[in-house]
Amino acid sequence: MRTLLLLPYLLPTVTVALSWRMMLSVNYGIVNQFLTSLGLPVFNWFMDTRTAFGTILVIDVWQNAPFVFLLLYAALQSVPEELYEAARIDGAGALQQFRFVTYPHLRTSIALCALMRSIDTFRLFEKVNILTGGGPAGTTSTITQFLYTYGISNLKFGFGSAGAVVMTILVLLLSSIYIKRAMNNK
């Protein structure tokens, strides 16, 4: 069962994007066929400005949720059972046990997950490029998509390089904030 839960994270990004593009296809996608069987109209998931970004977001969360699950599950397993027992003896309810026992042990793992997912959003290129190419009307364009379009496609390599340096500085800034907070919590 755990292997099935981890499967989306183990799949290559290109495979995930192509699979979802086929499932959400207007003409032959299984999702639109299901909607049609319910009497609902066919929907163009990737070419509607209202839903394109949300659809890519759902696909990205689906693929990367197992990573977050794995980190938080490992952190939960490391919480000593004696702390819960002591909290119960002291009269703590479920919410108080979470607030004073579980959450303090999960705090660094949650911060690590947030950092890793934030860094991953800077790398979000393949899904966007395969599914929408940054469209419709630029609603799904990401920083990396923007740098690719203006830096490589338009042959403005200096602009692309400068943008990549700025993106690297942002990632380093996020990482240093996380490391400082993690060191202060210990």
Q: Per-domain residue ranges for the chain? A: 2-185
What pLDDT does residue 186 have? 59
What pLDDT does residue 185 have? 66
**Residue showing tokens 């119960």:** 88
CATH architecture of 2-185: Orthogonal Bundle (1.10)
CA dihedral 120, 183, 74, 81 (to 10 degrees): -150
Q: Which of 127, 166, 165, 169 is nearest to 145 (CA)?
A: 127
pTM of the model: 0.83
What pLDDT does residue 162 have? 92
What pLDDT does residue 179 have? 81
Chain-centroid distance of CA 39 in Å reads: 32
Is residue 124 left, alpha or beta, with left meaning phi > 0 and alpha meaning psi from -120 to 50? beta
Residue 168 Cα distances to 87, 144, 165, angstroms? 44, 11, 5
The residues of the chain scoring below 70 in pLDDT are 185-186
Task: Classify residue 41 by its DSSP letter.
Answer: P
List the structure tokens of 39.
């009497």
List the structure tokens of 26.
């207007």
Chain-centroid distance of CA 42 in Å reads: 27
- H or E, element range at 91: none
